[in-house]
Amino acid sequence: MKALTLLRHGKSDWHTAAATDHERPISRRGRRSADAVGRFLRRVDLVPDAVVTSTAVRARTTSERAAEAGAWGCPILRSPELYNSHPEAVLDALKGQDDTHQHLLLTGHEPAWSQVASQLIDGGNLGMVTATLVHIELPIVRWSQIQWGRAKLLWMLPPRLLMAGDLDDP
């Protein structure tokens, strides 16, 4: 079995001088959410073996902050295929991952992330607000075996609940 966690990037800052959508940073709220994601995954013992992130600034920053806040210590790989992508491109990116990784976390964008999650579990309308986590179990041994409709949704967690739980941290 393999595990996949999809993370939509943190809330972006629309009041910035970023020249392109690709360069738009995350907001203060997005940074807090990313930190909460990192601590949460550490607390529930679901630290990924590797992170694959879109090359967009807001996705990269979300991944980096989460990894730092959770002290993950795993590699963070950048994948241009995850920016402005569609579900088939995401599936292809997953198929090429190193089989030594049992748990991958992918950071990216809507609408692709909701579509990927829905197609992997063969149904449902999963709208992912910024900084939402979706955790999926895959009945595969190698990433190249991943297929639509064969996965099991274990949980979906919006940032509002992450932030509420994070208040108890010292």
Tens of pLDDT, residue by residue over 64-74, are: 999 999 999 99
Q: Which CATH architecture has domain 2-166?
A: 3-Layer(aba) Sandwich (3.40)
Distances (CA, A) of 36 to 42, 55, 129, 149, 159: 10, 21, 15, 30, 8
Percent over 70 (pLDDT), the chain: 96
Looking at the DSSP bridge assignments, the partners of residue 51 are 76, 105
Q: How far apart are CA 114 and CA 78, in angstroms?
A: 20
- pLDDT bucket at 50, cuts 50 / 70 / 90: very high
- Which of 8-22, 40-54, 81-95 shows the lowest mean pLDDT across its residues? 8-22
pTM summary value: 0.94
Domain regions of the chain by residue span: 2-166
Instruction: Determine how β-strand 50-54 pairs with β-strand 152-157.
Output: unpaired
pLDDT the model gives residue 170: 42
Q: What is the C-alpha to C-alpha distance for residues 148 and 123, in angstroms, rounded to an integer?
A: 10
**133-138 and 2-8 strand pairing:** antiparallel
Q: What is the DSSP letter of 140?
A: -
Residue 37: C-alpha distances to residues 90, 129, 130, 137, 158 (Å): 21, 14, 12, 19, 10
* pLDDT, tens digit, 9 for 90 and up, residues 119-140: 999 988 888 999 999 999 999 9
